[in-house]
Structure 1
Amino acid sequence: MASSHLLFLILLSVFISTTFSSPSLIRLPTGHRKFGLNDDLYCDSWRLSVETNNAGEWSTIPSQCQVFVQNYMTGQRYLSDSVIVANYSFAYASSVEIATDGKDAWVFDIDETLLSNLPYYARHGFGSEPFDEESFDEWVDLADAPALPASLNLYNQVKEMGFKIFLLTGRSEDQRNATIKNLLFAGYSDWERLILRGTSDQGKLAIVYKSEKRSELVNEGYRIRGSSGDQWSDLLGFAVAERSFKLPNPMYFIA
């Protein structure tokens, strides 16, 4: 018993000595410039908080992050992140047993999901400027937004699988013609329905508006198997999809 007690005291002493005298293996960041964090490290952590919905509502990117966001959006990282999301989406879609009644649905957002507005945001600071609805509407009317390549590939894959595709966007009904023109120009076709904000939808939060429109689909008997969007408000709320897939977008936030 004495030897066991002695062994316990020795082990306890070693534990206490190791715990309180050795440097921690994990060094937690405690701030930004005040504590020596460089902008890239801070902005990468900020981007993670945005994508995981921890940052909450925000109107513009942090001023010191414009170059970081520009490099991210115009570099390989953004394309790679989008491909990974599309790959997970495809893997899930492949696991769904498509029924013969034509009621298995996939819902896609449009802006920064199917179409990339990067040419517009490149002229407006990659999200460092407050959103200007008038200038963005002028951009939409040009119908020049290119397809996000990974999303175009996923779109065609789920279409070939037999999903009914619904496009649910926050764009207004008066932008229907320009939106259709742009989608076709970018390579999208054969969707089941394009849903835009009507008069009664104006002023609603995106999460409410999109939930209501998904609910209407459910009431029509559709099973929303999958949903893709760049905003959490595209995916959360009610009448949500069985699986939702969040695409990256550190340039703006929509509630």
Structure 2
Amino acid sequence: MKQAALAVAGLTPFSSVDYPGHLAAVVFIAGCPWRCGYCHNPAMQRRSAKSMHWPALLAWLELRVGLLDAVVFSGGEATLDPALPQAMAQARALGFKIGLHTAGMLPQRLPPLLPWLDWVGLDIKTPLDDAKLLGKIAGLGAAGAKRSAAAVRDSLKILAASGVAFECRSTVHPLLHDDDVLRAIGDQLREAGVQQWVLQMARPVTCSQPLPAVGDDYPAPALLAELKLFSPKMQLRRG
């Protein structure tokens, strides 16, 4: 049976920030069941938001061999797409490193991807045990939020045991993430053995539910110093 084509919703041809230390093309995959208000790609949440054909994009990537280091699959939620493992294998066959951005909502989809992956960016939106806040951020009911929080924990365990390089990244905003929430995230990631943690500020650009701009005083310098005790390699991204 012929495999369904990857549901490509967009492409960033050159990026220096989506795979740390590498110049990458970012392939956006359509579809996501979560409805995060600060999502920068709300149009890609629909599975029907396809705008490109993977065979044509793969041919474009062939022309970028030697010019790009990596291909990152993002979304939406890329792991939803059953064609993702094959697409990763095809991009890897061209010689590219393979990266993945995921919110960790489908831990059962990660093991088949691990043979092709060189690096993963795992979204940690809330403390790992805070299903209520996850539901608020992702637009989930109580039952769905509880399942999703468990899924994120399972995804983190899978990645931590896999040997694949990964970082946890938390998109934060003072209206959603107060000091205690940030402390809880940092403490729990430390307990999970996470080496790379990135705090990135939510930006009120192209979002479905725009939030006020984040000031330069958030998080406060004293709190940042405290958070770095949890994660000495923690990075702060404002742009």
Q: TM-score, normalised by structure 1?
A: 0.30
Question: Which of the two has greater strand per residue?
Answer: 2
> Which has the larger Rg?
1
Question: Which of the two has greater helix per residue?
Answer: 1
Which has the higher relative contact order, 1 or 2, with Cα contacts under 8 A spaced 6 or more apart? 1
